[in-house]
Structure 1
Amino acid sequence: MNYDLEDDETLTAYHEAGHAVVAHALGATIDSMQLWGEADEFLPDRFGDCRVNWGRVDPNLDWQRQREIMTYLGGPVAEMIYRSEPLHPALYGPWQDDWAKAMQTCDEIISDPQRRTQLLEKIIVTLHHHLGRDPYWPAIASLADELAAHEQLESDQIAEVLTFWIR
């Protein structure tokens, strides 16, 4: 895929849409999405932001950790698919924060760093397989288009797009 520097917003929109689609498919509500997230008490300045609401869950349960790991990696995978480039999130600067969060969350499940890396790489392959197909890719593309057009989306706008594609 050919794109120029002007498409940074498009790449970010696909990235954030990947997070949102994975989280939605796994049962979360997406509170908001925006391009160009500013630093706050939890996160540094960033290209974009997707606020995921899991509701009342125990964050110490492995199944919740697994949902969070897949959501962290959903952004880089969606961008990989859009770019048609198999970049590794640990090595590509803009995705290193997503990788670090996935590694940290996975540390509670698997303490051995090599086995943890292998698991996360398997998750990336699985996500790549699923997100590149219906209904996930059309949902990602539609949500990315909306985000690129409006720069910020609220929960009702996001839910309208996601529930159209993913029931």
Structure 2
Amino acid sequence: MMKSNEGTTEHGESPPATSASKETVATAYHEAGHAVMAMAVGRSIQKVTIAPGKLQFGGSRLGTCEIKKGRSKGSKDQLEDDVLVLLAGMVSESRFTGVYCPAGASQDLREVSARLCTRAASQRQHGTLLKRMLSKTEHILNDEANIEAIRAITKELLEKTTISGRAVKHHFEMAQRRHA
């Protein structure tokens, strides 16, 4: 982890006061990032957890953010929203670790790549589009209200392991109100 000074990461995040492992804290930031971005693009959350589990086709996962099925609020570009939500975990996690962790986000990145292939005609276009989407994800998550929501959701995940979509919505809306 890169640090700028004692007790904070390169991005100024103070690790939550917890006895959880660094991996668990990073996972909490990761899942909170997915949840906040999902809310930011108008999706509803079923639940968020940092409990380990199994993937459908083998392997394991460290946590998950379950988005409710059904329509999202008037998205202009569903594919872009999907990609933003997928990238948000890695971007949010990097606020704690100081670096992107592609290995930890490998499943998300595979899904991003699959979605972007439907829009990019060449490898070069794919790379350009990925950079643009990553930049947009960083921009959205660097909003003070979204940073506050990520911190609050991370804190609650570390306390409870699993939180409801209602709790996510509460943290997101409270942060938005405080920074309006």
User: How would you bin the TM-score normalised by the shorter chain?
Assistant: 0.7 to 0.9
Opposite residue 165 of structure 1, the aligned amino acid is A
- What CA distance in whole angstroms lies between the structure 2 residues aligned with 1:43 and 1:26? 30
RMSD: 2.4
Opposite residue 85 of structure 2, the aligned amino acid is T
1:104 aligns to what?
114
- The CA deviation at 1:112 is 1.7
1:79 aligns to what?
93
Q: 1:110 to 1:81 in 2, by over 3 A?
A: same
How many residue pairs were aligned? 160
- The CA deviation at 1:123 is 1.5
Q: 1:55 to 1:48 in 2, by over 3 A?
A: same
Opposite residue 38 of structure 2, the aligned amino acid is A
TM-score computed with the length of structure 2 as normaliser: 0.79
1:46 maps onto 2:67 in alignment? no
> In structure 1, the residue corresponding to 2:54 is in which secondary structure?
coil
- In the alignment, structure 2 segments of 5+ residues that lack a partner are 4-8, 10-14
Runs of 4+ residues over 4 Å off in structure 1: 2-5
- What CA distance in whole angstroms lies between the structure 2 residues aligned with 1:129 and 1:62? 18
Q: State percent identity of aligned pairs.
A: 22
Opposite residue 78 of structure 2, the aligned amino acid is Q
- The CA deviation at 1:81 is 2.0
Structure 2 counterpart of 1:66, from 72, 75, 80: 80
Q: Which has the larger radius of gyration?
A: 2
- In the alignment, structure 1 segments of 5+ residues that lack a partner are none
**Alpha-carbon displacement from aligned partner over 1:3-33 (angstroms, at most 9, x marks no partner):** 8982211100000000010110000001011
TM-score computed with the length of structure 1 as normaliser: 0.84
- What CA distance in whole angstroms lies between the structure 2 residues aligned with 1:64 and 1:43? 28
